[in-house]
Amino acid sequence: MGSNGGHGESFFRLLSVGGGGGEGWHSYRHSSSTEGGSRRWGRKSPRDREEATGWWGESGGGGMVSKKRVMVVIDSSARAKHAMMWALTHVANKGDLLTLLYVVPPDHHHLRGGGEDDATNLANSLATLCKACKPEVEVEALIIQGAKLATVLSQVKKLEASVLVLSQCKPSPFCCMLRSSSEEFVEQCISKADCLTLAVRKQSRGVGGYLISTRWQKNFWLLA
């Protein structure tokens, strides 16, 4: 059955990760162009996948490029949207699966009320935008309640993501003395995630381009 506008497709799996790692709530999903549930990308071990891929996840050498799962951590901020669009245009290729991961804090007790609507509306609007901009990429959105770092790391491993893309904020002027929780989260993901992890920050209009941080280099300026 075809879809009718933005309301004809559902992009969600709605999950809750408890303290023990178990999942609750009703879950439902639709990957935008496949039937029968999620396929697996990149059966190699995480380290093998990272070593065998370039920055954007394409396979090295002259062999066939394998399909990959690109995971993006989203929220309501503009910088998260910029990182998502960068991942869509620079990392995800035809046939790849773009997974948008929205993590709800574990102490958020009203998710089944208006909070759930806010989360699903945001995730659906971003997923619909991605699908409209690049229809050849499959899109799904996951809404999971749990500790942010633990949830992201566990989902990267569970879903065998090839690339994780995060938004990064402008460094604090007091970064020599302390880092913000957002900066700490990005650093922990880069060092601990079982896949290639890219932190992205869009430059100001006057400068242009993006600053990219990885495990190997910080704030590499990409003019694109």
**Domain range for 167:** 68-222
What pLDDT score does 22 carry?
39
What pLDDT score does 1 carry?
42
Tokens of 182: 């957002």
In a domain, 141, yes or no: yes
**End-to-end alpha carbon distance in the chain:** 38
What pLDDT score does 120 carry?
86
Q: What is the pTM of this model?
A: 0.74
In a domain, 167, yes or no: yes
In a domain, 128, yes or no: yes
In a domain, 58, yes or no: no
What pLDDT score does 138 carry?
95
What pLDDT score does 179 carry?
63
In a domain, 50, yes or no: no
- Domain of 125, CATH number, reads 3.40.50.620
What pLDDT score does 7 carry?
45
Residue 213 φ then ψ, to 5°:
-120, 140
Residues 23/15, Cβ–Cβ less than 8 Å: yes
What pLDDT score does 106 carry?
85
What pLDDT score does 180 carry?
75
4 class by beta-carbon count within 10 Å (0-12 exposed, 13-18 middle, 19+ buried): exposed
Q: Tell me, what amino acid is at 106?
A: P
Distance in angstroms (rounded) separating the CA atoms of residues 74 and 54? 23
What pLDDT score does 210 carry?
85
Lookup result for tokens 């901020």: 77
Tally of structural domains, the chain: 1
3-class SS string, the chain: CCCCHHHCCCCEEEEEECCCCCEECCCCCCCCCCCCCCCCCCCCCHHHHHHHECCCCCECCCCCCCCCEEEEEECCCHHHHHHHHHHHHHCCCCCCEEEEEEEECCCCCCHHHHHHHHHHHHHHHHHHHHHHHCCCCEEEEEEEECCHHHHHHHHHHHCCCCEEEEECCCCCCCCCCCCCHHHHHHHHHHHHCCCEEEEEEECCCCCCCEEEECCCCCCEEECC
CB atoms within 10 A of CB 106: 16
Residues 135/19, Cβ–Cβ less than 8 Å: no
Q: What is the full per-residue pLDDT of the chain (224 aa) written as tens digits?
A: 444 444 445 555 555 444 334 343 333 344 444 433 333 333 344 444 444 344 444 444 445 557 899 999 999 999 999 999 999 999 999 999 999 999 998 876 544 555 567 888 999 999 999 999 999 999 999 999 999 999 999 999 999 999 999 999 776 665 555 567 888 999 999 999 999 999 999 877 666 788 999 998 886 767 65
What pLDDT score does 139 carry?
96
In a domain, 1, yes or no: no
